[in-house]
Structure 1
Amino acid sequence: MRVAVLGAGAIGAYVGASLCRAGVEVFLVARGAHLQAIRESGVRVHSPRGDFESRPRATDDPNEVGPVDHVFLGLKADQYAQAGPLVAPMLHERTTLIAAQNGIPWWYFHRLPGPFQGRRVESVDPGGAVSAALPLSRAIGCVVYAATEIVAPGRIRHLEGTRLSIGEPDGTDSARCNEFADAMVAGGLKCPVEPDLRRDIWIKLMGNIAFNPISALTRATMAGICRHGGTRGLVVDMMRETLAVAAAFGVYPDVSIERRFAGAERVGEHKTSTLQSLERGKPLELEAILTAVVELAGLAEVPVPTLRVVNALAGLLEDGNTGG
């Protein structure tokens, strides 16, 4: 089996290194000092589960990779629309695109029975640009429950969690999903094939939709947001509205707000990825996490006043951060 990782950042390099030690032929598409370090010394993973090293092939040119069986997308969601020329050289007729992203994916309504089947979510697929770059028929969803970070070029610190749930948009138990999942398990990761991955999407979104924008607006850590009475109440309101939107589309996450909050508190003095992006002057990637949910709320006529206010504030912050 041949797997390419497009966007070999913290999660991408961790997945690629894990697959490589399972004997998969892995290609990491990276750049800069990170690429150079991987070429010279491979990927070194430091983990409470045990350190390990892998030597996947690495390049900055997808043409050097050629067709593969699976492309694992470690890109940010706002990079998907421009990914077409990078992905194209790595495709054959059955290549899958495994999208490891937070929030609502561009394929959300693909093959979803009901009145919205085939509808485009403009916030994450503006004008169909992402669907054109990443064909829906190739999409496999992925929800990441692992936490990693790049501590130096070519060096990944695995903080917690090894589960990356995957699933077909139509919920079928496909051979292509099982093939990838088996390789992930052989590499030491958990990779359940979920019959309803949208439920996992909303479970993770419950936390992301509140903590990510609030952290960027306040510069607070997860623990700081939980400790402050005002922001704690704001998080609860945002989670309740999010669950109402999910229910309008037939999804009922089996995780309570209290349990989701407790999980966030355990993370401690951690800066969300959105806050880290803000501090680096990079895009905040809130379209998929927040704006898309507001769009879906409008589609289903669900009132989400708190989400709308936070979305407006975060949008203004994004404009100032990126010069928009």
Structure 2
Amino acid sequence: MKICVFGAGAIGGHVATRLALGGADVSVVARGAHRDAMAAEGLTVEAKDGTHKVHPRVGSPQELGVQDAVIVTVKAPALPSVAEAIGPLLGPETTVAFVMNGIPWWYFDRHGGALDGRRLPEIDPGEAIRKAVGVERTLGGVVYSACTVKQPGHIFVENATNRVVLGEPDGSASPRAEAIAEVLKKGGMGGEVTQDIRGEIWTKLAMNLAFGPFAILSRMGSGGAARDPVVRTAMVRALQECNAIARALGHDVNLDAEKRVASISRSNHKASILQDLELGRPMEVAAMFRVPLEMARMAGVETPVLDLAVALAVQQATEAGLYKPAA
């Protein structure tokens, strides 16, 4: 199975490694020093189950050609550049799995509810990715893996349990998702298929939406912020509001806010969106913060704590020049 990982940074590089270990013919589209190191020396992943080295093909979409599947693992602000470049990877039967943070561009496609077909222009400006890929090719995806690029070509995986969850936008059974999941499992990474991929998206998004703004505002990571009792109370309420949005949209998401905040207060992990702020990288403000709150309004859910926290976090991102609000 020919699989290209488009955006092989920390997460994408880890996924590419597991696919290669699982027997896939893997290629990657990446950039910068990390790309150069992978091309010259291969890709090393240091994980709890050992250190693994693979040698994926590294190149441009034109050089790599048509694939059986493409797994897109870029940050949301990079989607327009993916739309411009992805064409040569796509054949008539190519599947494209978007394994990304936040609300995906296809969220209301094949949704089946009152909001079916609603567009999300802040995530897909000009419908560029919709036109380039099309919903019929698309799989949704969520990844649970805390990774960092230790040095170019070398990825460190923090947690012992890592998994990717895939699903069809219409909730149908999915042989193509099963095929990718099976390769991941053979490579030592959890691969799962769900018939409620939106619910899975909300399960992960709730944590990012509830805790990410406080990480940005405190500059000390979600765990440090949660150790302050006043902030801790606000974070609990924010996560409860996330649960309410997800349920109003038809998903059985009911995270135990008290337990989740208590758990994160013991963690030193720094949220990826705070890392982006510190490193001057474009921030996933639209997909992780603004659009979910827009959806809360669509569903008639009030979110006073999130509204304030997100507004202040967006100010920080905008002031840093790492996010430009939609016109």
After TM superposition, the score normalised by the length of structure 1 is: 0.95
Distance in 2, Cα, partners of 1:9 & 1:58: 13
Residues 183-236 of structure 1: CA deviation (Å, up to 9, x unaligned): 111111111101111111111112100221211121012221221112111111
Residues 256-277 of structure 1: CA deviation (Å, up to 9, x unaligned): 22343244234x1221111111
Instruction: Say which is worse superposed, 8-17 or 76-85, in terms of deviation.
Output: 76-85
Mapping of 1:272-311 within 5 angstroms? 272-311=271-310
Whether the 8 Å contact between 1:82 and 1:133 is mirrored in structure 2 is no
Distance in 2, Cα, partners of 1:94 & 1:264: 42
Residues 113-154 of structure 1: CA deviation (Å, up to 9, x unaligned): 111111112332344333223322211111111111100110
1:146 aligns with 2:145: yes
State the partner residue of 2:127. 128
State the partner residue of 2:210. 210
Where do 5+ consecutive residues of structure 2 fail to align?
Answer: none
What amino acid is the match of 2:216? A
Residues 140-187 of structure 1: CA deviation (Å, up to 9, x unaligned): 111111111100110010111311111111111111111111111111
Instruction: Say which is worse superposed, 140-149 or 247-256, in terms of deviation.
Output: 247-256
State the partner residue of 2:164. 164
State the partner residue of 1:18. 18
State the partner residue of 1:221. 221
Q: Secondary structure at the match of 2:148?
A: strand
Distance in 2, Cα, partners of 1:153 & 1:256: 38
What amino acid is the match of 1:5? V
Q: Quick one: percent identity of the two aligned structures?
A: 37
State the partner residue of 1:30. 30
Distance in 2, Cα, partners of 1:271 & 1:3: 30
Q: Secondary structure at the match of 1:169?
A: coil
State the partner residue of 1:4. 4
Whether the 8 Å contact between 1:7 and 1:29 is mirrored in structure 2 is yes
State the partner residue of 2:194. 194
Distance in 1, Cα, partners of 2:171 & 2:262: 30
Whether the 8 Å contact between 2:83 and 2:128 is mirrored in structure 1 is no
Q: Secondary structure at the match of 1:192?
A: strand
State the partner residue of 2:183. 183
What amino acid is the match of 1:99? F
What amino acid is the match of 1:68? Q
Distance in 1, Cα, partners of 2:133 & 2:212: 26
Whether the 8 Å contact between 1:222 and 1:271 is mirrored in structure 2 is yes
Mapping of 1:96-115 within 5 angstroms? 96-115=95-114
Where do 5+ consecutive residues of structure 1 fail to align?
Answer: none
State the partner residue of 1:247. 247
What amino acid is the match of 2:93? R
- Superposed displacement of residue 254, structure 1: 4.3
What amino acid is the match of 1:195? Q
State the partner residue of 1:86. 85
Whether the 8 Å contact between 1:83 and 1:134 is mirrored in structure 2 is no
Residues 80-116 of structure 1: CA deviation (Å, up to 9, x unaligned): 1231221100000111111111111111111111111
Whether the 8 Å contact between 2:237 and 2:257 is mirrored in structure 1 is no
Q: Secondary structure at the match of 2:71?
A: strand
Aligned residues: 322
What amino acid is the match of 2:313? A
State the partner residue of 1:269. 268
Q: Secondary structure at the match of 1:252?
A: coil
Whether the 8 Å contact between 1:140 and 1:168 is mirrored in structure 2 is yes
Residues 291-311 of structure 1: CA deviation (Å, up to 9, x unaligned): 011110111221112222222
Distance in 1, Cα, partners of 2:307 & 2:54: 45
- Superposed displacement of residue 289, structure 1: 0.9
* Cα distance change, pair 122–243 in 1 and its aligned pair in 2 (3 A): farther
What amino acid is the match of 2:99? A
Distance in 2, Cα, partners of 1:309 & 1:126: 26
Q: Secondary structure at the match of 1:105?
A: coil
- Superposed displacement of residue 42, structure 1: 0.8
Distance in 2, Cα, partners of 1:231 & 1:136: 40
